[in-house]
Amino acid sequence: MTIYNEKNEEELGKTAALYGAAAIKRAISQKGYARIILATGASQFSMLANLVKMDIPWDKVTMFHLDEYCDLPITHKASFRKYLQERFVDYTHPQRVYFIDGEGDAIENIKILTDALREEPIDVAFIGIGENGHIAFNDPPADFKTREAYILVNLNDDCKRQQVNEGWFRSIDEVPSRAISMTVYQIMQSKTIICTVPGIRKARAVKATLEAKDPTPLVPASILNHHKDCYLILDEDSASLISV
């Protein structure tokens, strides 16, 4: 893992977008196209705002969606489909977009997504780390054993509180209890991972991630320490509890 500690969230977003764009363009130069995964949430605001400005031939890029709530309308402000449509797709118009549809038949949607995802490897995954140490919606204790691409998960209270704290919902009772999430295994199959983690609320999760001697389902993000090409990009707040 390569760690960058930027001064603030804006600089963090620029750095994440720069390295992510380089990996995308490298894939396109090597094979003529790129396949990427995008995360959502407040942690990705600056990264996405900078990524869409990069000089990338987006018509050669296929985008996959990392996770989505079950039974949440796309019109809801917390919908991750809405988030990605408004912050990425409307700006870049990729060659192909695979959204997770949490309103329909989840099992059928997972099958369609899995078939498309498994056609070829993912070149770049843009992800974050949750306040409880999750990656995607794989809350602790995360399932490290499954080899599925997407699974149905139950969201724990820590995860739900984060969604409320970020302003997506008014109360924890409004947060859906289930979601469709890309698995830890599938995320780790990506050739390059750009992990963008700003903010003081993420400091404990960052500390736990970096201090884990071995990957542990109790700190799902700890597995990123063992990816061969992972960039962990922090700001002063999220890095405030780490010793080095």
pLDDT at 84 over 90: yes
Share the mean pLDDT of the chain: 97
Sheet with strand 178-182: strands edge to edge: 67-69, 178-182, 150-154
In whole angstroms, how far apart are CA 64 and each of 98, 123, 214? 5, 11, 29
| 57-66, 104-113, 121-130, 144-153: least confidently modelled range | 104-113
pLDDT at 67 over 80: yes
- Which pLDDT score, from 0 to 100, does residue 51 have? 98
Amino acid at 171: S
Q: For the chain, how many residues are written?
A: 244
Closest to 205 measured CA to CA, from 176, 162, 173, 163: 162
pLDDT digits (tens, 9 = 90+) for 156-186: 999 999 999 999 999 999 999 999 999 999 9
Count the alpha carbons within 13 Å of 123 in the hemisphere toward its beta carbon: 22
Beta strands in 80-229 (DSSP E): 96-98, 124-127, 150-154, 178-182, 192-197
CA gap 138, 134 in Å, rounded: 5
pLDDT digits (tens, 9 = 90+) for 109-135: 999 999 999 999 999 999 999 999 999
Beta strands in the chain (DSSP E): 2-6, 34-38, 61-65, 67-69, 96-98, 124-127, 150-154, 178-182, 192-197, 230-235
- Which pLDDT score, from 0 to 100, does residue 244 have? 61
pLDDT digits (tens, 9 = 90+) for 195-210: 999 999 999 999 999 9
- Which pLDDT score, from 0 to 100, does residue 83 have? 97
CA gap 35, 123 in Å, rounded: 5
pLDDT digits (tens, 9 = 90+) for 87-98: 999 999 999 999
Written out in words, the top-level CATH class of the domain with range 2-235 is alpha beta
- Which pLDDT score, from 0 to 100, does residue 104 have? 84
